[in-house]
Amino acid sequence: MTATLPKGRLLGLGLGPGDPELMTLKALRLLRATRHIATFAKGGRKGHAERIIEPYMDPSQQLIRLEYPLTTEVHFGAREYKSALREFYDRATLQVASIMRGGADVALVCEGDPLFYGSFMHLFVRLRGDFACEIVPGVSGMSGSWSAAGLPMTWGDDVLTVLPGTLDAPALIARLHHCDAAVVMKIGRNFAKVRQAIADAGRMKGAIYVERGTMAGETIVPLAEFSGDAAPYFSLILIPGNGRRP
Ligand SMILES: C[S@@+](CC[C@H](N)C(=O)[O-])C[C@H]1O[C@@H](n2cnc3c(N)ncnc32)[C@H](O)[C@@H]1O
């Protein structure tokens, strides 16, 4: 006997890097056509994705805030952190599934691209066996940032490496030695370590720091001119390749 799929679908809508005009036409169409809009948020605060969709929301739509547990005092590698997050994603999955079981679609809106370091993936892998899913790609934060910076990133056969700033310093240095162009994401509290690793790998020249790329309050400066121990969550470092140029 074949089970029929419930009617409601999970829509993963990529919203782009911050500027609401960088959302795709398809994401906008599905956003406007869906009553239940889910978004991840922290500590009762309005999330970044929520800000991006604000200009397009209608009062008849229902916003479902999936609020992360408070884990600021716990290291992300700790067992408590992992189990708190696992329970959170399990609960969020049940909440979204109950709406879809009732026959309605749920659009889970995601900053940047949903399948690129996106929390969306945690719900997607839990739900895709039971519900139809549709994913709309988005302009990623790094792509929005290099466009905002007007920075040609990769030429010819340049290899681009994307590094999470959560890696330890030796791993960052080793990877930076083996790439032409690089993007370092998730720098936040790892900023001082990341900056030092870039200097130690001899890649400071040409490195650009981007904070809140394409959003209000955007900052774009050479990394060499930016110091400090921490950077905000929405920040990354771009290291362009030099490649073959005619
Ligand atoms: C969990 S990842 C999510 C990435 C997202 N799905 C994407 O496609 O860009 C979050 C990290 O992306 C980077 N990021 C995303 N958007 C950004 C922006 N507009 N400006 C600067 N950094 C951004 C930051 O490094 C941040 O810590």
- Express each pLDDT in 33-63 by its tens digit: 999 999 999 877 888 999 999 999 999 999 9
Domain end (from 110, 139, 168): 139
At residue 75, the pLDDT reads: 60
Mean pLDDT for the stretch of residues 120-134: 97
Count of residues for the chain?
Answer: 246
Q: Six-digit token pair at 207?
A: 């490195």
Q: How far apart are CA 164 and CA 171, in angstroms?
A: 10
User: By residue range, what is the domain housing residue 66?
Assistant: 9-139
pLDDT at position 231: 93
> Do the domain assignments include residue 114?
yes
pTM assigned to the model = 0.93
| Assigned token pair, 144 | 């929005």
Question: Does any domain span residue 166?
Answer: yes
In a domain, 245, yes or no: no
**160 lies in the same domain as 208:** yes
* Amino acid code (one letter) for 32: R
Residue 70, pLDDT score = 73
Q: Is the pLDDT of residue 6 over 70?
A: no
4 pLDDT higher than 70: no
SS3 107: strand
Using the structure block, give the residue that is written with the tokens 């992300």.
Answer: 76
- Atom of ligand 1 at shortest range from CA of 143: 9
Query: Given ligand 1 and candidates 42, 111, 135, 184, which is best to mutate, with the most ligand atoms within 8 Å of its CB?
Result: 111
In tens, the pLDDT along 85-110 reads 999 999 999 999 999 999 999 999 99
